[in-house]
Structure 1
Amino acid sequence: MDKVMKTIKQFFVFLLVTGIAVGALAQRPTIRYGSNAGAGNFVSIRGFRMYYEVYGSGKPLLLIHGNGGSIKDFQHQISYFARNYKVIVADSRAQGKSVDTSDTLTYEMMADDLNALLTTLRVDSCYVIGWSDGGINGLLLAMRHPEKVKKLAITGTNTSPDTTALDPVFFRWMINANDSLAKLPQTRTVKDQQKLLTLMMNNPHISSADLKQVNCPTLVIGGDHDVIPVSHTMAIAQAIPQAYLWILPNSGHSTLITYKAMFNQVVSDFFNRSYRSIKGMARLD
């Protein structure tokens, strides 16, 4: 049992280190993002109660957190973008305050949840930032509900559940952590962690042909030492018809924390400027 508990502790340490659940990594914000009664609300959609918060005014911007994360993961982005955007940020099902008692979890379910949230809030289209699994949800939202996404920025995103898309050490670690969870008393917390790990181990399955369906301008971002190999991040950008690629040096999975000021500025510029296709001799510019 001690060995099992050690593995579980390592799982939560990993979430913190990679930025999938980053609340303890950064300075405590003045506003308690993720627990702000003044900005938060629940909405009943698609069989569960989704918790969300809204900040600022202007053009809608949806922020999507990663596996095991929550609203507070965007504490460095919310205040920045709320100056010029209506920032909508939610806890995905089975994460944060969004309790989900179902036995299964898929990225497609979460993408459709976000679509339903936007519809409920009467948002016909928006800008989107997705981190890690949030990037997967962002891609699927753009593919399944293309009218909802004006522009998309994703960081630390994979499109397949194998060692071509995930660091082999991390991939093996997920399998071991899931095996250890199975030995624990099956509380709601343990079941949710199993759902989240199982999701990452077996999904997503987004092909290059699928990515061609992403018809909105997309900024594909990764760290040069991310758990997502640079080659995989490049392949995603190359498959999307209107995509830019941005690889950040000396960065792992947490690009939007490690380079928070630069990340916010570059993504903001991407949202504000028209996408341009650079071909032929224009590549010398």
Structure 2
Amino acid sequence: MPESRKNPGFKIVPAFLLLLLMATGVYAQTPYGNNKAAGRYQATRGIRLYYESYGKGEPLLLLHINGGSINVFSGQIPFFAKNYRVIAVDSRAHGKTTDPADSLTFEMMADDVNALLDSLHIKSCPVIGWSDGGITGLVLAMRHPEKVKKLVVSGPNLWPDTTALIPFVYDYLQRTADSLAKLPPTAANKNQLKVIRLDLLEPHLTLQQLEAIKCPTLVIGGDHDGIPVTHLVDIYRHIPQAYLWIVPSASHFIATTKKDQFNARVAEFLREPYKNIEGMNVLQ
């Protein structure tokens, strides 16, 4: 029997096992995601989008994993806030951003972010997206290319099947959705089911669409990621100005389990101009 049926207070965790975040110390005693001093709401597109700002300088946007919230970037916010104005967002239907609607798509979430940037008078900024946040980042760069100065995507996928998600993850999502569908239709249960179904039914992007992304992009994945390495390689190959970083001995949770490596590599990418390595340069 699923744990949720034995204990009504238990919440089924979404796509990528948020319990691992607890094990890696992300849910330490920090104010991230629940900081009244840093938090704001922006009324836009039928919702109140919650975000928090830290630091000063060039804006840097953080977009979190499925089922997560601003708090999953506890290992990144203080690091990047030393040099950037970090803007971390609770995506639609996540964290403090409630969403009563039945539907949820990555296009909706990308347009939410675009509206937030407009409201903050930010014409363009670097974007870091993890998992679903990475998908939202890709969609944002395609739908609103002027907004994305540089893009970092860790563990995104382009379509919802076992070629873009490893079979274990896809089956886990399906089992979780089936279990949630049997629970009483409370607002919380309906929201969790909507979030799970997002990764079961979305996105529907093509490799050819990625060719429209003009900003420099860093594609990140673990060699034991929930997204097949071959899929990440395909994403990298179809973005004109892209780098690929496959991290050894790493899962989908590079931002937490390999925090220092992740932060240093992303900071270098954001700091340095993109270099097109070709011709004789590949031998140097």
TM > 0.5 fold call: yes
**What's the CA shift string for 1:109-144, capped at 9, x where partnerless?**
000000011111111110000000000000011110
Shift of 1:6: 6.3
Paired letter, 1:246? W
Is 1:15 the counterpart of 2:17? The answer is yes
1:43-122 alignment, distance < 5 Å = 43-122=42-121
Paired letter, 1:134? G
Shift of 1:11: 3.9
| Alignment check: 8 A CA contact 1:15 1:68 kept | no
1:121-136 alignment, distance < 5 Å = 121-136=120-135
| Alignment check: 8 A CA contact 1:23 1:72 kept | no
SS in 2 for 1:262: helix
Shift of 1:27: 5.7
Q: Identify the residue that residue 185 of structure 1 maps to in structure 2.
A: 184
Q: Distance in 1 between matches of 2:231 and 2:6?
A: 31
| Alignment check: 8 A CA contact 1:103 1:195 kept | yes
Question: Tell me, which stretches of 5 or more residues in structure 1 are unaligned?
Answer: none
Paired letter, 2:256? I
Q: Distance in 1 between matches of 2:168 and 2:2?
A: 22
Shift of 1:4: 5.5
Q: Distance in 2 between matches of 1:152 and 1:245?
A: 12
Question: Tell me, which stretches of 5 or more residues in structure 2 are unaligned?
Answer: none
Shift of 1:5: 2.5
Q: Distance in 2 between matches of 1:46 and 1:234?
A: 34
Q: Distance in 1 between matches of 2:150 and 2:70?
A: 20
Q: Distance in 1 between matches of 2:154 and 2:271?
A: 18
SS in 2 for 1:49: strand
Q: Distance in 2 between matches of 1:2 and 1:270?
A: 43
Q: Identify the residue that residue 40 of structure 1 maps to in structure 2.
A: 39
| Alignment check: 8 A CA contact 2:55 2:83 kept | yes
Q: Give the aligned CA root-mean-square deviation in angstroms.
A: 1.9
Q: Distance in 1 between matches of 2:19 and 2:75?
A: 16
Q: Distance in 2 between matches of 1:2 and 1:202?
A: 23
Q: Distance in 2 between matches of 1:128 and 1:150?
A: 8
Shift of 1:12: 2.0
Shift of 1:25: 3.4
